[in-house]
Amino acid sequence: LQDLGRRLTAAISSVSGHSALDEQASLALDAVLKSVSAALLESDVNVALVKRTRDRVKKQVLPQLEELQAKSTSANQDHDPLAGNKAKQLIHKAMQPVKGKSQVIMMVGLQGAGKTTTCTKLATHYQRRGLKVALVCADTFRAGAFDQLKQNATRAKVPFFGSYTETDPVSISLQGVQKFRAERFDVIIVDTSGRHRQETELFHEMEQIQDAVEPDMTVLVLDGAIGQAAEAQSRAFKEASNFGAIIVTKLDGHAKGGGAISAVAATSTPIIFLGVGEHLHDLEKFSPRPFVSKLLG
Ligand code: GDP
């Protein structure tokens, strides 16, 4: 128990010293908390101690995440002139698109992160709130990307634009955005291509699309299972695309998404939604409390 006590103290102080709880720290903590629980139960020691310890750890971690989220949301806040004092309440731009403004949301991320799936989930989310939403497929890199978006969009009854013959993603995204702007859509979501890793070519393409369609918001889609790689990946994408929000996917599986907190800290950008499955409605609004609870058990 003495050894466990030492490890626990070390783990807690390492968390206190972190600006954010990263994947490694959360895994270490998880392991320590589990072994402490087991040891206490075996020795018939009171289980309340475990609960107190967990509560203490959560109490330290949660405010850090809430503070990070709040700070980074304020940088991407939407100012509603009609909201009066309520404007003080922080509302992320991407959480409340306005009717009649043709807001363009561009999605970026590595191949396989879940961009195409998330585009349709997001479209469905806005559609259910009464907004007129359309999807543009600017992924000309991955074979079958347009077919996938087309299938998803059709299932979700969301109008879409793409091409089997045009190979220039900048041209396609511009055509799509112009078409849906002219048709007065409220939200136009542009799905861009990814690569297996961060590449200059991908970042160059992203910048060109951004220059062409001038998105109101760029969203990074991050695979929840990538662990510590989240920090470097989000930093690189931030530099190239200056995204204003993060969506973490695949949190229905084994991944607890601790790495995503490092991404928030590294880029000062908030998480807005979580992907929790492969289906249309598997999108949850991000909230620090349940996220941290899941992370630390
Ligand atoms: P893209 O290359 O970034 O566009 O990624 P896709 O949208 O094609 O997604 C890659 C794979 O991840 C697909 O098989 C999706 O069904 C799956 N996927 C995406 N989001 C989630 C999620 O939140 N949970 C689970 N379990 N699978 C997901």
Q: What is the pLDDT of residues 32-90, one digit of tens each?
A: 666 666 665 555 556 676 677 667 766 776 777 777 777 777 666 554 444 333 333 45
Q: What is the pTM of this model?
A: 0.79
> Quick one: which atom of ligand 1 is closest to the CA of 224?
23
- Report d(CA 297, CA 294) in Å as an integer: 5
> Quick one: which atom of ligand 1 is closest to the CA of 283?
23
**How many angstroms separate the alpha carbon of residue 278 from the centre of ligand 1?**
6
**How many angstroms separate the alpha carbon of residue 222 from the centre of ligand 1?**
10
**How many angstroms separate the alpha carbon of residue 79 from the centre of ligand 1?**
33
**Beta carbon of 222 within 6 Å of any ligand 1 atom:** no
Please name the residues in contact with 267: beta carbons below 8 A apart, sequence gap of 6 or more: 72, 234, 235, 238, 243, 246
pLDDT in tens, 153-195: 999 999 999 999 999 999 999 999 999 999 999 999 999 998 8
- Report d(CA 257, CA 22) in Å as an integer: 9
Max intra-chain CA distance, the chain:
71
E strand intervals along 123-258: 133-138, 160-161, 187-192, 217-223, 245-249
Mean pLDDT, residues 232-255: 91
**Beta carbon of 250 within 6 Å of any ligand 1 atom:** yes
ipTM above 0.90, yes or no: yes
**How many angstroms separate the alpha carbon of residue 133 from the centre of ligand 1?**
21
> Quick one: which atom of ligand 1 is closest to the CA of 276?
23
C-alpha 93 chain-centroid distance: 14
> Quick one: which atom of ligand 1 is closest to the CA of 277?
24
Whether the pLDDT of residue 91 is over 60: the answer is: no
Evaluate whether 140 touches 195 at the Cβ level (below 8 Å): no
